[in-house]
Amino acid sequence: MHKFNVPVAYVDALRVRQFARAEGNLSKNDRIDAALISRFAAKIGVRVLDRQDAAAVELKRKTKFRQTMTDLRTTLTNRLETEFDKEMRGLLKEQIRHIDKMIRKIEKSSMETVGNNPSMRNKVERFTKVGGVGEVTAISILTGLPEIGRLSDSKLNRLAGIAPEEKSSGTKEWQRRIWAEERMFATLYIWPLQRDFSGTAY
């Protein structure tokens, strides 16, 4: 859509459906949904996505591919821990070595993409100055929160899921909770642990 200069916005489908229920609107078809989303945007607001250049799109694809390989490696490693057949263990180890090679290759390619883009390179360099944050984590933050540098700290905290939401009524209070996209939250949660337990930036 950005290619044709059409603004693009993101909204959580569950929130829109809850908004419809609050209106007492249980009907659903394309025309009703379009009008519903329009009302939701006007009353609640939506997250307008910035137009990303080719380098940002390329880096995001590479980051997703790396995550896919990492998840696959975790699955195979867990299988290896419970596998007793010698031949199967050998095959699993071979696959893990191959995936490790692919992960290193895509990490190198991602850094080349960052290196060729002054804006990305500057942000990654600033991220890696934080203790425990290495190039992999920096790139994950860069692709997961492209709004960094353009939104206020409070809005970024909510997007990242590090701002607990208050939940109380009168004198009663419930435990505060955080909400965020799972991958982004995992990235921000893991790097302090790596810093504390290994002392190695990742």
Q: Which pLDDT tens digit goes with each residue over 55-114?
A: 888 888 999 999 999 999 999 999 999 999 999 999 999 999 999 999 999 999 999 999
CA separation for the pair 66, 151 (Å, rounded): 27
Q: What is the pLDDT of residue 181?
A: 54
Q: What is the pLDDT of residue 2?
A: 65
CB neighbour list of residue 156: distance below 8 Å, 6 or more residues apart? 145, 147, 148
Q: What's the one-letter identity of residue 166? A: E
pLDDT digits (tens, 9 = 90+) for 29-69: 999 999 999 998 888 877 776 666 678 888 889 999 999 99
CA separation for the pair 51, 57 (Å, rounded): 10
